[in-house]
């Protein structure tokens, strides 16, 4: 019996000795963030923004080792009725196109990053899930990290998506004479501050 207990204890020691420890850190969204959408019609270009988004959420980062992608947990939940296209008619059209009455929120869920964010200028990539108009899609996003103070960063994400990715038909006006292109360039900005770093 003693030999069996000794054997089990030895196996446990070996397992824990070689087990990869998860390293975790937390960052907080600490001030106003924004989302910008740039698009084009066959007549001109337009941009729509959600400014002054602020919800003090915590972003968590977990990494098994430095060679693995960094798991990221957290999300931006944006009210589609807060979009401003600097033109009342265009603003109303966009909200209607994005089915704001039925699906009032655009949600960006963070999945991972290619590297752990450093407190210096850096370009990295990562995956997000975008929930829009009742459809969820995963995209790889290019990030730019910009130092903005002590233990703080601006995390700028850039991605081109399509209305058709979410089964949405681009808006049309005047019998189809003015048509909106399918492609949209999305830029979101998060201001984050470390609570504890890796």
Strands 178-179 and 172-173: antiparallel
Indicate whether this model's pTM tops 0.85. no
Instruction: Look at 109 and 176; give whichever has higher pLDDT.
Output: 109
> Could you state, in order of their start, the residue ranges of all structural domains in the chain?
20-196
Find, among 179, 183, 184, the residue nearest to 42 by Cα. 179
Summarised one tens digit per residue, pLDDT across range 45-86 is: 989 999 888 777 888 888 777 677 889 888 988 999 999 999
Rounded alpha-carbon distances, angstroms, from residue 119 to 28, 44, 60, 125, 142 = 14, 39, 16, 16, 17
- pLDDT at residue 87 tops 70: yes
On whether the CB atoms of residues 61 and 198 are closer than 8 A, the answer is yes
Summarised one tens digit per residue, pLDDT across range 187-198 is: 999 888 888 655
- pLDDT at residue 9 tops 50: no
CA distance 118 to 1: 52
Q: So what CATH class is 20-196? A: mainly beta
């Amino acid at each position: 019996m003693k030999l069996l207990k000794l054997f089990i204890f030895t196996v446990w020691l070996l397992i824990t000795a070689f087990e990869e420890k998860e390293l975790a850190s937390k960052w907080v969204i600490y001030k106003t963030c924004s989302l910008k959408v740039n698009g084009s019609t066959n007549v001109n270009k337009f941009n729509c923004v959600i400014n002054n988004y602020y919800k003090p959420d915590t972003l968590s980062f977990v990494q098994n080792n430095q060679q693995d992608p960094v798991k990221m947990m957290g999300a931006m939940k944006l009210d589609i009725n807060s979009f401003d296209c600097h033109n009342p008619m265009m603003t109303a059209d966009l909200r209607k196109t994005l089915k704001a009455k039925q699906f009032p929120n655009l949600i960006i869920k963070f999945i991972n990053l290619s590297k752990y964010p450093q407190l210096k200028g850096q370009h990295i990539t990562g995956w997000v899930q975008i929930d829009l108009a009742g459809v969820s899609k995963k995209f790889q996003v290019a990030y730019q990290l910009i130092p903005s103070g002590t233990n703080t960063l601006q995390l700028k994400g850039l991605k081109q998506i399509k209305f058709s990715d979410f089964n949405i038909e681009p808006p049309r006006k005047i019998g189809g004479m003015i048509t909106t292109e399918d492609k949209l360039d999305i830029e979101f900005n998060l201001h984050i501050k470390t609570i504890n770093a890796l």
